[in-house]
Structure 1
Amino acid sequence: VLGEKVMFGKKVQGILRTTYIINPEGIIAHVFPKVKVDGHVEEVMGILNQLKSNS
């Protein structure tokens, strides 16, 4: 995703880390904007397990 972010105290256009979970029907089931690496895998796995138990 392309958008505005701050680098070295200056606003710039750049790539924003974003994760999408897409269900088997091809529909976006969840969006994680402004992704930080630390803890992201656990966060995604939690949502995947939650979505799996709801189906």
Structure 2
Amino acid sequence: MRDALDTLAKKNVKVVGISPDAPGTQKKFAEKHDLPFPLLSDDDHEVAEAFGVWAEKTVRGKTSLGIVRSAFLFDEDGRLLHAWYGISPKDTVPRLLAALG
């Protein structure tokens, strides 16, 4: 996502990340990966649950609750235009750009 920000800005797209991590953890992650967009903390999973991305998943044979990596496109009025659940990071930008036309 970071590498596509110039392209997205030309299409008037604003990027925001959200995760259940604490703000301090997010700050370290953003600095490590040089992320120039905001990361929001959803440590109580309220937003994740509302969007249906806090779910049971199995990783290495262990089942637990966690985030289903997803991406959402909203218009300038806050209406949800597209939702991609279970999307891989490498597919996020191409699908976003395709949706934007």
Using the size of structure 1 for normalisation, the TM-score is 0.74
Distance 1:5 1:37 in 2: 18
Distance 2:71 2:86 in 1: 9
Match of 1:10 in 2: 62
1:23 to 75, 81, 85: 75
1:34 to 75, 83, 86: 86
Shift of 1:11: 1.7
Q: How does 1:33-52 map to 2 (within 5 A)?
A: 33-49=85-101
Shift of 1:38: 2.1
8 Å CA contact 2:70, 2:87 repeated in 1 = yes
Unaligned runs of 5+ residues in structure 2 are 1-52
SS of equivalent residue, structure 2 residue 77: coil
Moved over 2 A (4+): none
For each residue in 1:7-37, what CA deviation from the matched residue of structure 2 results, as whole angstroms up to 9, or x when unmatched? 1112210111111100122110110001111
Number of aligned residue pairs: give it: 49
CA RMSD of aligned residues (A): 1.2
Whose helix proportion is higher, 1 or 2? 2
